[in-house]
């Protein structure tokens, strides 16, 4: 579970969600740009940051509508080609956000959708991370969400360590085998 001080958890909870208020609330007019009085009317539909929507939903003051990142269009995009969907720029906290959202919204399909998306993207990510060189950042990396990026970096750095280990100086004469390009999957 992410801790109190975990910065990426805090930033993730800043994502905006659209909510419908079941009750009115006074003195918080700044939340609703369309209001004239300093309060939010019952039935108003506003965008709130997730940390606020989460607490209010627990006390049944609002109900959260499913954001577009888990909606029908997204589902179609993932069906078409999961690896091409740009999570990095549009929804960097896709998976964590989905995990926190789905108990509140009551839509059971979100969990399955998250797993399905991740499984489809994983294969592409695995092969790219093992072949990518250290200096070039493939364009593909920009499409990864934060969690996927951590996995990618872990795979890439372990690959670099492996390569270093292969050519390590044992204090013996280097043989020519090190220079050959062997046709294995690891290359």
Partner 1 sequence: MYARRAAQLLQELSSCEEGQLPPYNGDKFDQVIRECEEHSRQFQSLIRDKDIETKNEDHYGSFIHHLSIIRNKRCLMAYMYKRAEVIQSYRWNVGRVLPREIQDKLNFSEQEYFKDYCGVIDSYMKDLDLDLTVDMVPPKDPYIRVRVLSEIGEVSLGDHAVSLTKDSFHFLRRTDAETFISQGLMEEFVE
Q: What are the residues binding partner 1 (CB under 8 A)?
A: 4-8, 10-11, 14, 23-28, 30-31, 39-40, 49, 51-52, 55-56, 59, 61
* Nearer CB in complex with partner 1: 21/94: 21
Q: How far is the CB of 24 from partner 1 (least distance, A)?
A: 4
Q: How far is the CB of 58 from partner 1 (least distance, A)?
A: 11
Q: How far is the CB of 12 from partner 1 (least distance, A)?
A: 11
Q: How far is the CB of 142 from partner 1 (least distance, A)?
A: 15
Tell me how far apart the alpha carbons of residues 48 and 70 are, in angstroms, rounded to a whole number: 17
* Nearer CB in complex with partner 1: 54/143: 54
How big is the chain, counted in residues?
Answer: 187
Tell me how far apart the alpha carbons of residues 90 and 123 are, in angstroms, rounded to a whole number: 21
Task: Indicate the helix (H) or strand (E) that contains 26.
Answer: strand 25-26
* Nearer CB in complex with partner 1: 46/82: 46
Which among 49, 50, 30, 48 is positioned nearest to 40, based on CA atoms? 30
Tell me how far apart the alpha carbons of residues 15 and 49 are, in angstroms, rounded to a whole number: 5
User: Token digits for 66?
Assistant: 């499913």
* Nearer CB in complex with partner 1: 68/150: 150
């Amino acid at each position: 579970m992410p801790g109190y001080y975990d910065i990426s958890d805090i930033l993730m909870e800043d994502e905006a969600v659209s909510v419908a208020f079941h009750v009115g609330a006074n003195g918080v007019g700044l939340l609703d740009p369309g209001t004239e009085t300093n309060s939010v009317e019952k039935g108003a539909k506003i965008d709130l940051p997730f940390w606020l929507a989460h607490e209010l939903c627990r006390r049944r003051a609002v109900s959260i509508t499913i954001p577009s990142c888990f909606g029908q269009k997204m589902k179609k995009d993932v069906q078409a080609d999961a690896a091409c969907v740009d999570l990095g720029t549009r929804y960097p906290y896709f998976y964590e956000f989905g995990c926190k959202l789905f108990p509140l919204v009551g839509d059971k399909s979100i969990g399955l959708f998250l797993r399905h998306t991740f499984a489809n993207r994983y294969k592409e990510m695995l092969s790219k991370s093992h072949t990518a060189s250290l200096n070039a950042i493939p364009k593909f990396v920009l499409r990864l969400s934060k969690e996927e990026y951590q996995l990618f970096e872990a795979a890439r750095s372990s690959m670099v360590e492996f390569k270093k280990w292969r050519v390590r100086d044992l204090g013996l004469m280097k043989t020519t085998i090190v220079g050959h390009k062997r046709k294995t999957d690891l290359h």
